[in-house]
Structure 1
Amino acid sequence: MDYYLDQQAEPDSAVLLEGPWGSGKSYFIANYFKERLAKARKADALAVDPLIHVTLFGVKDLAEITTQMFEKAHPILGGKAVKVVNTVLSRAVGALGVTADAKENATLLQDLTLKLDGRVLVFDDLERSHLPLVEVMGYINRYVEHNKLKVIVVASEADIASHERQDYSRRKEKLVGKTIRVGSDPQDVLDNLVQNLDSKEVVTAVQTARDDLLLTFKASKKQNFRSLRSILFDFERLVTATDPRLRSNPQALRALLLYMVAVGMEFRSGTLDDSSLRSLRTDIRSIPGRQPDSDEMSGQNIGQRYELVAWNDPIIPPAHLADLFSSGAVDVPAVNAFLSEHPAVVGHRVAPPWRRLWSWYELTATDYKTARDELARQLSEREIVHPGQILHAAGTIIRLRGYGDDLLNGVPTEDYFQKYLEDVDAQGKLIPAHELFGMMAGSYGSLVYNEVENPEFLPIHALVEKVSQKALDRKMALEAGELLSSLRTSTDHSSKLIETGLDKRNYGGVAVLHHLGVETFAALLIDDGSPNDKLFASLHARYRGGYDDELAPEFPWLARLRTELERRAAAALPPHKALCEMRIEYWFQEVAGKIAAFSKPRQQAKPSLATPRKPAARKRVRKDAK
């Protein structure tokens, strides 16, 4: 670079500074010219900074590039001068209202060229322009060939669109004389990044896991130091904001750090999007690829590439990391609730027995017996009342029986848990958890159930789902009155019928309206002959959200509601009578078929865990079998 810039002869080509995104190209340019300027001003205090650095990122018109150059070359000038240059190149003088004849424009352009003598043009982010590359490169080439200026082009060739690579290669031969590849030493970069971290525990964690972190970063095949920097700062913010027991546990910190580097690099490069990251399962290594762009295929590739990452047992669920990476938000109470049960964070003696036994192979014989006996006691006393925890207990019992330890003393697993569920249901103790039985039906607490594909486990899952639904229905019967009062208070609350999140008193995808009287609800929809369009719209949207099975109890209720609404419309006086009839017909036309279908006796039970409501059966690779 020094040789190119210091030579007295007129240049006949440009220099290409090439490297992947985040590799430090722009940082190198800024610091390189800063050092050159400092050196020049030691010899001449009035030395002019030769750098004119423009970005091609998002550029849609060549005039935008010229405008940037003009503003950098003439920082004091502005307004009319910049607009004229832009206008000349875009040939739209009249449209912009600029008053300048061709001679004046030519003078300004010539002045611009003269002002560039002795300057160095840097065109950054070549591959991120919205213009065809050959057009941009032809534009750049005129400054080399015609104006004899020294030009540096900054690009990431790996990110050039495939359909432009052939044209790019041909044009590159004419434009570029030398290529300098930027490749910072990851070890040096990491050491510099660590100096910007504030938490002593985080610094120690990064330094202790330094070699494994670098191997994990390298496994991404994306040498993007900008992404690594963001991930490390996210790691620090997450660790310092959550349970202090996490940052005081080096092993847990190491596991979380490597996990975040792996998924963070994939997320920031676009390999994993938000939904894909949220759906990562703990049995990621055994997920077979289907379509190349499917979540399953992404999961398989990630599991194979990052050998040092403990995919089977994340310290923090990927859904929370998706929130952090996407929006910077951290649900601290939810994260802390998860950490409070994680053996790696709170210790094996503090974590609940179902959680300890999920990875029983990590326990000593003494700790195993303690956890085993405690789980047996909790089951005997019907203390486990969360559906996800019950399913984890069932899957682990089936798993352990395969290793010769029968916690149920010969009682068939299905029979045992059927009686267990009858008891906790009769006591009204079961906690409703309808979210466990959707598309992610095979896991709870970010952990896939042991023996989730075992035929012995599937009927237990169906039993738990059935009893959980009963518990949810009882809960909804109690909350229906509160929902009705809320809808009466304000039409804005009609969004509660669409939005999800029972903890926020939202009822999207949860059957609750059938607990309300049809006459009472009809009075909200048609009041004194006037339709409540906002509530009608929310009711319509409620049944378009893909929750038909979940909302099945409401469809017979909807049939009765429509009858009551039609009765009210018939009793209304013109013109409100016709208005109400039109609204009823419009809002119910799409849902009419569902009402008819779900009002008939169902021939089949709801799909079990083995149906497409969950991922298809997979061959499992068990860590405890190693």
Structure 2
Amino acid sequence: MTSNANAREFLDYYLGLDGDPEFAVLLEGPWGSGKSHFVETYFRDRFAEARKTDAESKDPLIHVSLFGIRELSDITTQMFEKAHPVLGGKAVKLINSVGSKLGGLVGLSLDPKENAALLESMTLNLKDRILVFDDLERSPLPLVEVMGFINRFVEHYKLKVIVVASEDDITEGQKNEYKGRKEKLVGKTIKVGSDPGEVLDAFTSRLKIPEVLKAVAVNRDRLLTTFAASGRPNFRSLRAVLLDYERIVTLVDPRLSESEDAMGQLLLHMVALGVEFRSNALDDNALRNLQIDIRLRLKSGAGSNNDTDAQKRASDLRMRYKHVAFDDPIIRPDHLADLFSSGTVDVVRVNEHIARHPAIVGYAEVPAWRFMWSWYDHPESDYRAARARFVDDLAKRKITHPGQILHAAGSAIRLKKFGDDLLDGRTVEDYFTEYLADLDTTETLETAPDLFGHAAGSYAGLGYNEADTPEFASIRALVKQAAQRALERTMKASAPILLKRLQDDSEDAQMLHKWGLDNGNYAGVAILHHIVVADFADLVLIDGKPNERLLRALRERHQQSHDSALDLEIPWLEQLRVELMKRAEKLSPPYRKLSEMRLEYWFREHAERFASREA
């Protein structure tokens, strides 16, 4: 017999006792295990059976949540509202008010809280009622105080009482007193939870999108297996993940919801990572780096002594969640981290990834470099077609993004190890040196300022093949240099545009320290050294007064850049300081001294920061 069947059988016995039960029953289980759902379904079924023999039967249950309860009188008030739903809170307020006014006449207390406690004897008829006190461990009140209050209904009112709690979540400071009080109050403790399939069906009934409902139905068994694989299945987490799943499906490219395979892959992926994240087994940083860790773990081989803790964790996830496609997810873990942590969805970036995913657009529409990244997942006929496209793209220099070029190089190195030389006998270094030189000549290499920072080990959420080999390291260095040259060309062309924006509104300089080159912002990207110093100085010192907002923007720009990204601007900043001090010297008092003091302050900060970086 299952624990829930045992619980139902005992509750049937307990609630069927005649006379004084003399004890309460404790239903115990970890937080999120479905205890409340079990209670709800048990009493719903019990009441339905009672109605079959007596159509006029009234529901005897008074179900009270202790979550957040800070006053015992609040429990009584809640009980009254449950027992008299038509009157509810209005009656409590009325009795409190009347009791206060008549206190001197009939001996009632003038304290509204005490009046609420008197509801028990005045209006609350508890005869033949069943009391359920839920979320015991989540009450801010001392547990012994709450349990003493509950014990009154067992000892004095001879009622059937059920307490629901997670004993694992009772604080250490209260456990000893709790055990002592429990011995006096509780006669039977039963471990309970809810059937995952039953709870999933209940959650699913609240979803609205047909494609989401279909995905849950089609993948029901795999979903339940994935949910259980965490070892700590929490129904609250599952509910939150399902709502997140429905939300993200409605926000992104509709081609996702049109692909049954992709919808299933995403659902299982989100359930696995969502449960791990919400149980704190994966924190935000671990989730953002998970794809790289998985890739490195696959490269190192099983049982490698060189695995980091992160790679071991990635391996453990792959082993436990058999139905989850970790290698090439529909939505990247770092994007899911945004959703799980803050509820935000970077729709543009998510859609960029979706638009390249074979499960969404089909293998024929996937860029050749993307196909070759996971060539081993496809039949030979598809590989031959993609290989021809890939070789043609390379020959015609169609691959122009630095990240895509690195993927192309990594795949070429990998495939040569498997006996397929895509470069016709040339070394990978020679081939891509010439490739990048051609893109330099035509100035067609795209800019990718963020590629060699935090995301240095991947592009488009995919870790580079052969990233840990010397051959790949040399290509990475070549691509990084070429990408820097491309960025320099782009910034040189963009500098007049930036200067014009500042001239139009010299006090609105947020674009200097806000991120997002695609949105016209320049944080972390060196560009100011392409602006004539005298032109910029015109904006910093206006009619004898330093432009504090522009100087503050310069400071924020360099404060948030901790690496060498803005080093090209350092000589330019020194030239700007010299130019401004020359202009300040020509001012008349008192503005000369004022300007000199303010400029010295701002540029002293720059000098100290650069000195500390060099040290």
Same fold at TM > 0.5: yes
Give the corresponding residue for 2:192. Answer: 182
Give the corresponding residue for 1:605. Answer: none
- CA deviation string 1:501-543 (max 9, x = no partner): 1111122222222222333333333322333333333322222
Contact 2:26 2:165 in 1 (8 A): yes
Instruction: Show the 5 A alignment for 1:576-591.
Output: 576-591=591-606
- CA deviation string 1:31-55 (max 9, x = no partner): 5556667788896969586515133
Give the corresponding residue for 1:17. Answer: 27
Q: How many angstroms does 1:214 deviate by?
A: 1.6
Aligned counterpart in structure 2 of residue 536 of structure 1, from 533, 551, 568: 551
Structure 1 stretch 360-369 or stretch 111-120: which is displaced more? 111-120
Aligned counterpart in structure 1 of residue 232 of structure 2, from 206, 209, 222: 222
CA 1:52–1:375 in structure 2 vs 1: closer, same or farther (change >3 Å)?
Answer: closer
Instruction: Show the 5 A alignment for 1:570-609.
Output: 570-596=585-611
Give the corresponding residue for 1:375. Answer: 390
Aligned counterpart in structure 2 of residue 527 of structure 1, from 535, 539, 542: 542
Structure 1 stretch 414-423 or stretch 587-596: which is displaced more? 587-596
TM-score by length of 2: 0.82
* Structure 2 residue identity aligned to 1:318: P
The answer to whether the aligner puts 1:51 opposite 2:57 as a matched pair is no
Structure 1 stretch 572-581 or stretch 14-23: which is displaced more? 572-581
Contact 2:37 2:199 in 1 (8 A): no
Q: How far apart in 2 are the matches of 1:294 and 1:113?
A: 62
Q: How far apart in 1 are the matches of 2:601 and 2:141?
A: 47
Aligned counterpart in structure 1 of residue 90 of structure 2, from 76, 82, 94: 76
Q: How far apart in 2 are the matches of 1:111 and 1:426?
A: 88
Contact 2:296 2:311 in 1 (8 A): no
Structure 1 stretch 548-557 or stretch 119-128: which is displaced more? 119-128
Give the corresponding residue for 1:91. Answer: none
Give the corresponding residue for 1:500. Answer: 515
Give the percent of matched residue pairs that are identical in Structure 1 and Structure 2: 49
Give the corresponding residue for 2:104. Answer: none
* Structure 2 residue identity aligned to 1:392: H
Q: How many angstroms does 1:293 deviate by?
A: 12
Structure 1 stretch 305-314 or stretch 40-49: which is displaced more? 40-49
Contact 1:62 1:136 in 2 (8 A): yes
Contact 2:65 2:133 in 1 (8 A): yes
Contact 1:558 1:595 in 2 (8 A): no
Contact 1:13 1:175 in 2 (8 A): yes
Give the corresponding residue for 1:308. Answer: 323
Instruction: Show the 5 A alignment for 1:388-467.
Output: 388-467=403-482
- CA deviation string 1:449-506 (max 9, x = no partner): 0001111111111111111111112222222233333334446732222221111112
Q: How far apart in 2 are the matches of 1:17 and 1:75?
A: 29
Contact 1:323 1:330 in 2 (8 A): yes
CA 1:363–1:32 in structure 2 vs 1: closer, same or farther (change >3 Å)?
Answer: closer
CA 1:14–1:238 in structure 2 vs 1: closer, same or farther (change >3 Å)?
Answer: same
Q: How many angstroms does 1:108 deviate by?
A: 5.7
Q: How far apart in 1 are the matches of 2:308 and 2:463?
A: 23
Query: Which secondary structure state, in structure 1, belongs to the residue aligned with residue 450 of structure 2?
Result: helix
Q: How far apart in 2 are the matches of 1:425 and 1:82?
A: 83
Q: How many angstroms does 1:65 deviate by?
A: 5.2
Structure 1 stretch 195-204 or stretch 560-569: which is displaced more? 195-204
Q: How far apart in 2 are the matches of 1:520 and 1:56?
A: 64
Unaligned 5+ residue runs, structure 1?
86-99, 603-626
Contact 2:508 2:549 in 1 (8 A): no
TM-score by length of 1: 0.81
Q: How far apart in 2 are the matches of 1:121 and 1:317?
A: 47
Instruction: Show the 5 A alignment for 1:149-228.
Output: 150-161=160-171, 165=175, 168-228=178-238
Q: How many angstroms does 1:395 deviate by?
A: 0.4
Contact 1:14 1:175 in 2 (8 A): yes
Contact 2:31 2:234 in 1 (8 A): yes
Query: Which secondary structure state, in structure 1, belongs to the residue aligned with residue 133 of structure 2?
Result: strand
Contact 2:226 2:268 in 1 (8 A): yes
Q: How far apart in 2 are the matches of 1:544 and 1:82?
A: 60
* Structure 1 residue identity aligned to 2:261: Q
Q: How far apart in 1 are the matches of 2:584 and 2:482?
A: 40
Q: How far apart in 1 are the matches of 2:559 and 2:310?
A: 25
Contact 1:21 1:223 in 2 (8 A): no
* Structure 2 residue identity aligned to 1:213: L
Q: How far apart in 1 are the matches of 2:597 and 2:74?
A: 54
Q: How many angstroms does 1:262 deviate by?
A: 0.7
Structure 1 stretch 130-139 or stretch 356-365: which is displaced more? 130-139
Number of aligned residue pairs: give it.
585
Q: How many angstroms does 1:246 deviate by?
A: 3.6
* Structure 1 residue identity aligned to 2:519: K
Query: Which secondary structure state, in structure 2, belongs to the residue aligned with residue 436 of structure 1?
Result: coil
Contact 2:291 2:462 in 1 (8 A): yes
The answer to whether the aligner puts 1:351 opposite 2:366 as a matched pair is yes
Give the corresponding residue for 2:489. Answer: 474
Q: How far apart in 2 are the matches of 1:414 and 1:285?
A: 23
Structure 1 stretch 461-470 or stretch 276-285: which is displaced more? 276-285
Contact 1:33 1:51 in 2 (8 A): no
Structure 1 stretch 265-274 or stretch 431-440: which is displaced more? 265-274
CA 1:46–1:554 in structure 2 vs 1: closer, same or farther (change >3 Å)?
Answer: same
Structure 1 stretch 325-334 or stretch 31-40: which is displaced more? 31-40
Structure 1 stretch 353-362 or stretch 316-325: which is displaced more? 316-325
- CA deviation string 1:182-227 (max 9, x = no partner): 3222233334444555555444433333322221111012332333
CA 1:522–1:123 in structure 2 vs 1: closer, same or farther (change >3 Å)?
Answer: farther
Query: Which secondary structure state, in structure 2, belongs to the residue aligned with residue 435 of structure 1?
Result: coil
Contact 2:293 2:314 in 1 (8 A): no
* Structure 1 residue identity aligned to 2:459: Y
Q: How many angstroms does 1:278 deviate by?
A: 2.6
Q: How many angstroms does 1:260 deviate by?
A: 1.4
